[in-house]
């Protein structure tokens, strides 16, 4: 199941080489909502992985975008401690019609044939000593 949200780009991070088999890139949007005359602001971080990382290059701070994403959850265990974490995996990013004059954002096409990376792909042996792989 996929979800959609519209907001303003706040940050686009560089690509991170997590291991020789796995790389990711994250970006943050600001979502404003007015409820009962109160403005609520959320900052939501998304990620793209592998060959999709370069597709975020056209994003700039202030761009109004619509992000289509999947919700992904993982279980992780180390030293007998079990943890869970969730990622918002973006697969399509479109500029809104009210967007600023930056270069257009390319679509990130969903590919359900690409499996979610194995636990060992999330971190190197050196990072394995850390508490969490992210």
User: 36 or 97: whose pLDDT is higher?
Assistant: 36
134: which residues sit within 8 A by CB, 6+ positions away? 85, 122, 123
Does the structure show a pLDDT above 80 at 122? no
What is the 8-class DSSP label of residue 103?
P
Q: Is residue 48 part of a domain?
A: yes
User: Domain range spanning residue 114?
Assistant: 2-126
Q: Is residue 14 part of a domain?
A: yes
Apex 22 CA angle, 102 and 8, nearest 5: 25
Q: Is residue 13 part of a domain?
A: yes
Q: Is residue 133 part of a domain?
A: no
pLDDT of the residue at 52: 85
pLDDT of the residue at 119: 52
Domain count, the chain: 1
pLDDT of the residue at 116: 52
Q: Is residue 131 part of a domain?
A: no
| pTM of the full structure | 0.68
Q: Is residue 132 part of a domain?
A: no
Nearest to 44 by CA among 30, 61, 25: 30
Q: What is the CATH number of the domain that holds 36?
A: 2.40.50.140
Q: Is residue 40 part of a domain?
A: yes
pLDDT category, 133, cuts 50, 70, 90? Answer: low
Q: Is residue 26 part of a domain?
A: yes
Determine the Cα–Cα distance for residues 111 and 102; give it in Å rounded to an integer: 27
pLDDT category, 67, cuts 50, 70, 90? Answer: very high
55-69, 72-86, 114-128: the lowest-pLDDT one: 114-128
């Amino acid at each position: 199941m996929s979800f959609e949200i519209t907001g303003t780009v706040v940050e686009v991070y560089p690509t991170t080489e997590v291991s020789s088999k796995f790389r990711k890139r994250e970006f943050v949007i600001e979502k404003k909502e007015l409820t009962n005359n109160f403005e609520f602001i959320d900052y939501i971080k998304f990620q793209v992985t592998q060959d999709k990382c370069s597709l975020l290059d056209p994003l700039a701070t202030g761009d109004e975008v619509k992000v289509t994403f999947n919700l992904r959850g993982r279980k992780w265990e180390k030293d007998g401690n079990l943890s869970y974490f969730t990622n918002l995996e973006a697969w399509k990013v479109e500029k809104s019609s009210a967007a600023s004059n930056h270069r257009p954002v390319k679509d990130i096409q969903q590919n359900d044939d690409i499996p979610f990376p194995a636990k060992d792909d999330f971190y190197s042996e050196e990072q394995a000593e850390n508490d969490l792989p992210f």
